[in-house]
Amino acid sequence: MMGPAHSLSGAAAWLGVGAATAAAGHPMPWPVLLAGGLICAGAALAPDLDHKAATISRAFGPVSRALCEIVDKLSYAVYKATKKQGDPRRSGGHRTLTHTWLWAVLIGGGTSVLAVTGGRWAVLAILFVHMVLAIEGLLWRATRGSSSDVLVWLLAGTSAWILAGILDKPDGGADWLFTAPGQEYLWLGLPIVLGALVHDIGDALTVSGCPILWPIPVGRKRWYPIGPPKAMRFRAGSWVELKVLMPAFMLLGGVGGAAALNFI
């Protein structure tokens, strides 16, 4: 799928988690619902770090472009080193390493460790990066063109600072779900894992499928492209994505948010 649909699906997924946790007796404070939704929307773009033309490659200027090239080469190297006889030849690393469950878990777990051990500045950095990606994904029409980059970064930095301040307040949600001393912000890895997995599921619905299960082999392939029957798949950017899935994500996100806040 394209960046905007990925971001919308990520936000909707976290709002759905908010509704589920509220029903299970562990409701999210509204700052956690808001911050998690934005983080998940941003994290749903992150697996495309292996794609030089993706939204994330433009989000941080030369830094993100260089990082995408590195990740593309790393992913391709891992693919060549681990592929089985049935896996096809490839010329790049897109939709390989960063589009797997293992990558999602490692990135999310690493983020949680960083948030717990790195203090306030680490939390601010995590929030800033994902606010930039969320703005790029959710407000894609307004952020087109390099002239908007600085404004996006300023908006993301301001949002990260404000959200961190609200979360740090008593009952603000810094210790949501993980309440033991020293576990504040441990939950930050959860929307990142979810965003990555939602991205992978979205890509699995397209004609190319997605090797979510790697490194678990399926038959003669280690990079088996998981997906529904071919008749149910669509091309990225097609009318199915734009006219069906994106409105559905907005509707589901609205319902999930309302349920998470006990409005319905």
Residue type, 120: R
pLDDT confidence of residue 182: 87
pLDDT confidence of residue 141: 62
Residue type, 14: W
Report the SS3 class of residue 210. strand
Predicted structure pTM score: 0.93
pLDDT confidence of residue 236: 80
pLDDT confidence of residue 120: 92
Which of these, 250, 176, 193, lies nearest to 43 by C-alpha position? 193
Alpha-carbon distance of 120 to 105, in angstroms, equals: 23
Element holding 124 (H helix, E strand): helix 101-138
Q: Tell me the pLDDT tens digit for each residue of 239-264.
A: 888 889 999 999 999 999 999 998 98
- Return the residue matching tokens 């941080």: 60
Q: Would you tell me the crossing angle of helices 101-138 and 189-204 to the nearest 10 degrees?
A: 90
Do residues 148 and 142 lie in contact, with contact meaning Cβ atoms separated by under 8 Å?
yes
Alpha-carbon distance of 202 to 6, in angstroms, equals: 7
Q: Tell me the pLDDT tens digit for each residue of 161-209.
A: 999 999 999 889 999 988 888 899 999 999 999 999 999 999 999 988 9
pLDDT confidence of residue 143: 61
Q: Tell me the pLDDT tens digit for each residue of 215-236.
A: 999 989 999 999 999 888 888 8
pLDDT confidence of residue 179: 84
The count of other CB atoms within 10 Å of the CB of residue 50 is: 26
Element holding 117 (H helix, E strand): helix 101-138
Mean pLDDT across the stretch 65-86? Answer: 94
pLDDT confidence of residue 144: 64
Q: Tell me the pLDDT tens digit for each residue of 100-144.
A: 999 999 999 999 999 999 999 999 999 999 999 999 999 876 666
Domain count, the chain: 1
Range of the domain at 24: 3-261
pLDDT confidence of residue 7: 94
**What is the torsional sign of CA 38, 8, 40, 256?**
positive
pLDDT confidence of residue 181: 86
pLDDT confidence of residue 146: 56
Do residues 48 and 59 lie in contact, with contact meaning Cβ atoms separated by under 8 Å?
no
- Return the residue matching tokens 């404070």: 29
